[in-house]
Structure 1
Amino acid sequence: MYKYTICFIEQNGRLLMLNRNKPPAMGLWNGVGGKLEDGETPLQCAEREVFEETGLQAAGFRFRGIVSWCVDGADVGGMYVFHVKLPDQVAFATPVCMDEGILDWKERSWVLAAKNYGVGVIIPRYLNAVLSDDEPCYEHRFVLAGNRLMAYEAERLVSDELLAVP
């Protein structure tokens, strides 16, 4: 079982992204997430982290897969990935400065743009599948050397039964 979750919050073609103040990914735009607490399922963690970091009580979280990585030959771990869409009537004004960093809406096309060095090198590889309503769930595996992407593969997950695991 992995220790972390990440959630991509979407509304009207925009993603609520966090520019992190702390490692890992300090200074980069990323989804909202964090560490699982004892006895917590990945879904419960994603819901809690979104509320703690944004104040939003979103509904309809969808499990969208797993992202794992190996850095400089060491298996560093991974995270469970979620996607939630906010209804149009939910207002969330940005930018917002908080302990974790700065929250701001970014156009989906900006996040996925080629050579956008403001997001982590792996995000553009897996995010389209995460945001898709039609794609199945995947385990996305990355191999990095320093901050360079060396290899990537995606394997379709059979089910989302792992979400029940505390």
Structure 2
Amino acid sequence: MQGYNVLMIYSKDKERLLMCKRLKEPYKGLSNLVGGKIEPGESGIDAAYRELAEETGISAADVTLHHVMDYTYYLQDCYVEVYAGKLKRDVEVAGDENELYWSELHHDFFDVSLYAGEGNIGHMLEQVKMSKVLAMDEQ
């Protein structure tokens, strides 16, 4: 079963979310979270930090990732690990895989005409809000 990760990176003030505009299929042209493949033999958390650095330039020194949830897609023979973190400091993001941008949090992330993932992004954001996982970084 192939593993993937998706990374919910919040700005230091928790008012914006790092998103990307997909340049290729699936979901070409839609906004998505950053993430990627978990390589064979690689732990999920190691893959999350690797993908984050590769796609955005954000390092483990910039953010603490928290494993929030997983999705298993039996018919597609894959699973997705979901991580969330709040930046410790303002960071300049840069990547060449997709166009990166900071999104305000008032949008309807369930809108499948704008966001990838059949509503999953909206669901993940609600779970992070309910869990108060980002408050853990402030203790």
TM-score, length basis structure 1: 0.66
Q: Which has the higher strand share?
A: 1
**Cα contact 1:81–1:130 (8 A) shared by 2:** no
Are 1:79 and 2:75 counterparts?
no
CA 3–116 in structure 1, closer or farther in 2 if over 3 Å, else same: closer
Q: Tell me which amino acid in the other structure corresponds to 1:80.
A: E
Q: Which runs of 5+ in 2 are unaligned?
A: 134-139
* RMSD value, Cα: 2.3
Deviation string 1:4-61 (CA, Å, 9 cap, x unpaired) is: 0110100121001011112222211111110111221110001000000111113311
Larger radius of gyration: 1
TM score, norm. by length of structure 2 = 0.77
- Match runs of 1:1-166 below 5 Å: 2-11=2-11, 12=13, 13-57=15-59, 58-69=62-73, 75-76=75-76, 77-87=78-88, 89-92=89-92, 98-110=95-107, 112=109, 115=111, 117-120=113-116, 121-122=118-119, 123-134=121-132
Q: Residues 124 and 17 from structure 1, CA distance in 2 versus in 1: closer, same or farther, beyond 3 angstroms?
A: same
Post-superposition offset of 1:101: 1.4
Aligned length in residues: 126
* Distance in 2, Cα, partners of 1:115 & 1:16: 17
Taking the aligned partners of 2:130 and 2:108, their CA distance within structure 1 comes to 15
Cα distance in 1 for residues equivalent to 2:87 and 2:37: 23
Contact 2:44/2:81, CA 8 A, preserved across alignment = yes
Quick one: distance in 1 between partners of 2:19 and 2:5?
14
Give identity over the alignment, percent: 30
**Is the 2:34–2:55 contact (alpha carbons within 8 Å) kept by the matching residues of 1?**
yes
Structure possessing the higher relative contact order (Cα contacts under 8 Å, 6 or more residues apart): 2
The alpha carbon displacement at 1:108 in A equals: 1.4
